[in-house]
Structure 1
Amino acid sequence: MRQALSLLENGEPIRRLPLEDGGDEDRLLRLPEVLRLTGMCRSALYDQMARGQFPGSIKIGERATSWSAKAVRNWIAQRVDGL
């Protein structure tokens, strides 16, 4: 399943940056990438966040928000597994 989640809809691999410690990589995703990966529109994403059904965002600046790639991948995996 990890391999299936590593491809965009067009079949291109998602480019990932490894962590320096060599552990399971994680990075921050901006809104357009989260929307592309989940297939949701912006309002649906924020609605699911408000209901606690989608991972919360991380404030990275005064006007910049991101999401943990690991949390988003886990959310997608749960949907694929039917949970």
Structure 2
Amino acid sequence: MLEKHLRLPAVIDVTGLSRSTIYAMMSQGRFPRPIALGKRVVAWPESVIAKFLRERATATQVAA
């Protein structure tokens, strides 16, 4: 089965992060990088974003 890929507006919606925060975190190595789907089209595999969110939730629970 093919995996769904999320474009930036969907990633913003799912994570609750802003565009600038996502790109700042990517430059710091704290957010997964998208894959190129075309010359000017990028997207994130849904599983990668889900893993990112699970790891953030786990890190928050450990810190509390």
Equivalence for 2:46: 69
Q: Based on CA coordinates, which of the two structures has the bigger radius of gyration?
A: 1
Matches within 5 A, 1:1-83: 19=1, 26-82=3-59
Q: How many residues align?
A: 60
Between Structure 1 and Structure 2, which shows a larger proportion of helix residues?
Answer: 2
Would you identify which runs of 4 or more consecutive aligned residues in structure 1 move more than 4 Å? none
Amino acid at match of 1:82: A
In the alignment, the residues of structure 1 paired with residue 21 and residue 59 of structure 2 have an alpha-carbon distance, to the nearest angstrom, of 19
- CA distance in 2 between counterparts of 1:28 and 1:55 reads 13
Query: Post-superposition shift, 1:80?
Result: 1.0
What is the TM-score normalised by the length of structure 1? 0.67
Identify the structure with bigger relative contact order (alpha carbons < 8 Å, sequence gap 6+): 2
Give a deviation string over 1:31-51, Cα, whole Å, max 9, x none: 000000110000000011111
**Amino-acid identity (%):** 32
Counterpart of 2:52, as a letter, is W
**Long gaps (5+) in structure 1:** 1-18, 21-25
Where in structure 2 are there 5+ consecutive unaligned residues? none
Q: CA RMSD in A?
A: 1.3
Three-state SS of the structure 2 residue aligned to 1:53 is coil
Kindly provide the amino acid, as one letter, of the partner of residue 55 in structure 2: Q
